[in-house]
Copies of this chain bind each other. A is one copy, B any other.
Amino acid sequence: MANARTSSGPANPRFFTRSGPFDAQALAEAAGATLVPPREGSFPAGGYTGIAPLQGAGAEDVSFLDNRRYASLLEGTQAGLIIVAPAFADKVPAHSAALVSATPYLAWSRVARLFHPKAPPNPGVHPSAVVDASAVVDPSAEIGPFVVVGARAEIGPRCVIGAHAVVGDGVVLGADCRIGSQVTLSHAMVGERVIILPGARIGQDGFGFAVGPNGFETVPQLGQVVLEHDVEIGANTTIDRGSVNDTVIGAGSRLDNLVQIGHNAQLGRCCIVVAQAGISGSTVLEDYVTVAAQAGLIGHIRIGAKARIGAQCGVMSDVESGADVIGSPAMPFREFFRNVAVLRKLSKKASGPAEDGSGKG
């Protein structure tokens, strides 16, 4: 049933504006790719007008092949221009031009962005917004309906603050940030070009308490959150501020939706944290670490540069640079899958041939 659905294709005009048309040369430049003209026929006279998947594309559409397992779609496509890796260049149909790139996904991304650029900020403060008199909002910034901007907050040039976002007292946003609807930001120093999707919570109290004579007593959380340049934060993700030191998300790092970052955690440059993963307090990720979905890292450990933490992994101790770990507790990938195989074999042996063949549980 899901298969039978017809999609509106990419870039439904209800939701997306479109630039163009663009000629093949302009697209090649945007893509940083090598242009190969069609072996039969010519480029469309009016240029290319948009993007489309291989199956639905026409003579004025740009399409792309990124995943080897969809290569068979090249044969039947009507796309006028196709972005491919060198290995597939000779499989492009005769009537199609090609943009050949060693990084076809990146090339595609840039072409798609050319046709569908981000809307620029619409400068000004919505009349419903509540902006403290001591806040400094750059006149080129866009402040949406019902936004609250606290005392002494600073909002940089060309920032876009979505409806209902709350920018707390003293928070600083660098240039060109995009803050989604209903984000809350407090106790935060934010760099440039930072993107935060709707509902993310940045800078609230960390989970800190001491056992007192009459129950738990909250420990004051006196640090802040630092989001460096080019960080992106997913929807409904939570990043607690530090207790004494800062919680830091390094430049270029990307967090998916529903991620939890505990107080004092420090992520290096260009880390990736996929949906529903959690990083406990005071843990350090060096640069280029990847944490896959639903993984969990205990507090006060260090993950070396370029390490990769697998999905649902439970990390209880330091991980070396460049390591690939998975499982709970975490272990090297090959060890994990060897364990799985060994246990399966032992289990089959234990259950015996009769039961195994019976089909009953």
Contact = CB atoms under 8 A, between A and B. Distances in A.
B180 A204 contact: yes
A276 B275 contact: no
A5 B220 CA distance: 23
A59 interface: no
A187 B234 contact: no
A209 B254 contact: yes
Contacts of A207: 234, 254, 256-257, 274-275
Contacts of A145: 130, 148
A325 to B, nearest CB: 13
Q: Count identical subunits in the complex.
A: 3
B210 A204 contact: no
Contacts of A222: 10-11, 16, 51, 112, 116
B278 A298 contact: no
A133 to B, nearest CB: 14
A103 B343 contact: no
A258 interface: yes
A198 B200 CA distance: 9
A205 interface: yes
Most B-side CB within 10 Å, residue of A219, A220, A346: A220
Nearest to A113: B220
A199 interface: yes
Interface in A201-224: 201, 204-205, 207, 209-212, 215-220, 222-224
Interface residues of A, number: 129
A14 B223 CA distance: 11
Given A128-B130, A199-B201, A222-B112, A257 B240 contact: yes
Contacts of A285: 2
Contact of A182 (B162, B164, B230, B329): B164
Contacts of A269: 1, 215
A238 B234 contact: yes
Contact of A110 (B106, B217, B284, B343): B217
Contact of A236 (B10, B172, B201, B242): B201
A2 B257 contact: no
Given A164-B166, A219-B108, A235-B238, A267 B182 contact: no
A170 interface: yes
Nearest to A264: B7
Interface of A: 1-3, 5, 7-8, 10-12, 14-16, 51, 53, 103, 105-106, 108-110, 112-113, 116, 126, 128, 130, 144-146, 148, 152, 162-164, 166, 168-170, 172, 180-182, 184, 186-187, 195, 197-199, 201, 204-205, 207, 209-212, 215-220, 222-224, 226, 230, 232, 234-236, 238, 240, 242-246, 248, 250-252, 254, 256-258, 260, 262, 266-270, 274-276, 278, 280, 284-287, 293-294, 296, 298, 311-312, 314, 316, 328-329, 331, 333-335, 338-340, 342-347, 350-351, 361
10 contacts: A14-B224, A103-B211, A207-B254, A207-B274, A215-B269, A216-B252, A216-B254, A328-B328, A338-B351, A345-B350
